[in-house]
Amino acid sequence: MYLDSAKKTELFTEFGGAATNTGSAESQVALFTFRIKHLTEHMKQNRKDHNTERALTGLVGKRRALLNYLKARDINRYRAIVKALGLRK
């Protein structure tokens, strides 16, 4: 599987500050970004997979909502996570 518990722990530690900090906006955005990258590669090979396309659209929307939340609450945290993940604004 592409996303095992070790990878999740690594993402949460790097972006959330601790492996148990799974609810922070930064760690959730990092997790969504990892999943989006994986699904994007899948969609390049399987263009007619409409279920995955719908899931990908939902993930992008969730990530955008979290980023909007961060931007409204703390612009410095928003800028840091966008820079760390290499996201477009």
Alpha helices in the chain (DSSP H): 5-16, 25-45, 50-73, 75-85
pLDDT 10s digits, 22-75: 899 999 999 999 999 999 999 999 999 999 999 999 999 999 999 999 999 999
CATH number among 1.10.8.60, 3.30.1540.10, 3.40.50.1820, 1.10.287.10, domain 5-85 = 1.10.287.10
pTM flag (> 0.85): yes
**Domain range list for the chain:** 5-85
Neighbouring residues of 22: CB distance < 8 A, sequence distance ≥ 6: 8, 12, 16, 28
| DSSP annotation of 2 | -
